[in-house]
Amino acid sequence: MQPIDFRSDTVTKPTPAMRRAIADAEVGDDVYGEDPTVLRLEARIAERLGLEAALFVPSGTQANQLAIGAHCRQGDEVLTEAGSHILHYEGGAVPALWGVQPGPLPGTRGLLTPEVVEAAVREENIHNPRTRLLSLENTHNRGGGAVWPLERFRAVVEVARKAGLAVHLDGARLFNAEVAAGIPASSWAKLTDTTAVCFSKGLGAPVGSALVGRADLIREARRLRKRLGGAMRQAGILAAAALHALEHHVERLAEDHANARRLAAGLAQLPGVKVDAAHVETNMVVAEFASRPAPETVALLARHGVLTNTAGGPGLLRLVTHLDVSTRDIDEALARIRRAVVA
Ligand code: TLP
């Protein structure tokens, strides 16, 4: 039985057309600034996000961390929602790499209010860390793929600006937000100093992310990328996949969102399973399987050919739709899950 893999949208394999784009890529040594495909990708993504410059990097983690390194000095503080990826899933990098202190803020499904941000900014005083950066996430991973309403995002950014903070956006799934909200990704990105986007999540490229932003910050990030060993040579091979993804895999994210809604509706019918359908805004479904601890449900479903992940709360599972899961797979997965939980 072929497993149906909802663990993440990172698991996709390059399509045949993407493999052809990879094979045909013109390349050069990007450390000398000579890879034409990387240069084309960097120019394209900067333009698309309405920001000055971009840097191609191996991973979303590195894009976020380079932003923190470029914005902050040792002893500074970064404000971010308590469930953010930079705090939960980046190996402790914020303190380990930069000596930066995280200031975790309470949010709702990953989204903050202007009041919470305003209250968290510390006054200038020799006792305090210097609150330097606000880092937001759109869509929000632990928030179940929640999209930031633009006006709320703008209000939060405004408060940060007034307090003299820089603003970074972890937009690993910013194109999911674009498609779900029906507004360009640049609407959010151009309000920030730096935005990270991933080509290897919903967009289906095998590797690669970009840090996009003000030219001076991207210059600094380029230096830090070298320091971390993230400067790559004939990286056009990878940039070609990212360019192909930008051109061909953005609009189709609507299919992943529709599949997520279909999956949520089907799960809600199952005994002992709770899903809040109104919270399925993009390609993630968070479902509560009340009768066992989440790791046991993950193992049970895996034995029935459905791969999932836990979602950080008791009984909570995360199921992510993507390029390699069809509508027919959704229906087959629902039948398998029914057999697993009803048996
Ligand atoms: N998220 C992965 C895991 O790390 C949890 C996943 O399966 O969702 N920002 C956000 C919001 C992300 O969700 C991720 C990946 C990253 C950054 C990091 O990207 P990579 O894996 O390329 O370092």
Name, in order, each residue with C-beta under 8 angstroms of 278's C-beta and a sequence gap of 6 or more.
none
Residue of the CA atom closest to atom 13 of ligand 1 = 141
Quick check: 298 and 309 in contact, CB under 8 A? yes
Cα of 50 from ligand 1 centre, angstroms: 23
Full residue range of the structural domain in which residue 338 is found: 252-342
Model confidence at 213, pLDDT cuts 50, 70, 90, reads very high
Expressed in angstroms and rounded, the spacing between residue 296 Cα and the centre of ligand 1 is 23
Give distance in angstroms: CA of 174 to centre of ligand 1: 12
When pLDDT is cut at 50, 70 and 90, the band that residue 343 belongs to is confident
For 112-146, the pLDDT digits (tens) are 999 999 999 999 999 999 999 999 999 999 999 99
Q: Residue 18 Cα, ligand 1 centroid: separation in angstroms?
A: 22
Q: Are residues 260 and 201 in the same domain?
A: no
One-letter amino acid at 186 equals: S
Pocket lining for ligand 1, CB < 6 angstroms: 8, 10, 59-61, 64, 85, 89, 137, 141, 170, 172, 198, 200, 209
Give the residue, by CA position, lying nearest to ligand 1 atom 6.
8
Least Cα distance to 59 among 209, 269, 219 occurs for 209
Ligand 1: residue of 7, 10, 209 to mutate (most ligand atoms within 8 A of CB) is: 10
70 CA distance to ligand 1 middle (Å)? 20
CATH assignment at residue 55:
3.40.640.10
Same domain, 56 and 78: yes
Same domain, 243 and 276: no
53-57 and 209-213 beta bridge pairing: antiparallel
On whether residue 186 sits in a domain, the answer given is: yes
pLDDT tens, 156-165? 999 999 999 9
- Residue 311: give its domain's CATH number: 3.90.1150.10
For residues 241 and 328, membership in a common domain is answered with no
Whether pLDDT at 3 is above 90: yes
Mean pLDDT along residues 214-236? 98
pLDDT of residue 15: 98
**Residue whose CB lies within 8 A of the most ligand 1 atoms, among 87, 201, 209, for a mutation test:** 201
Report how many domains make up the chain: 2
User: Per residue in 56-99, pLDDT tens?
Assistant: 999 999 999 999 999 999 999 999 999 999 999 999 999 999 99
Q: Which atom from ligand 1 is nearest to the alpha carbon of 200?
A: 22
Compute the distance between CA of residue 161 and CA of residue 80 in angstroms, rounded to an integer. 15
Distance 284 CA to ligand 1 centre (A): 13
| Token couple for 150 | 């633009």
Per-residue pLDDT at 313: 85
At 249 the pLDDT is 98
Q: Are residues 242 and 256 in the same domain?
A: no
Look at residue 9 and tell me if it is in a domain. Answer: no
What pLDDT does 1 receive?
87
Q: Which amino acid is present at 183?
A: I
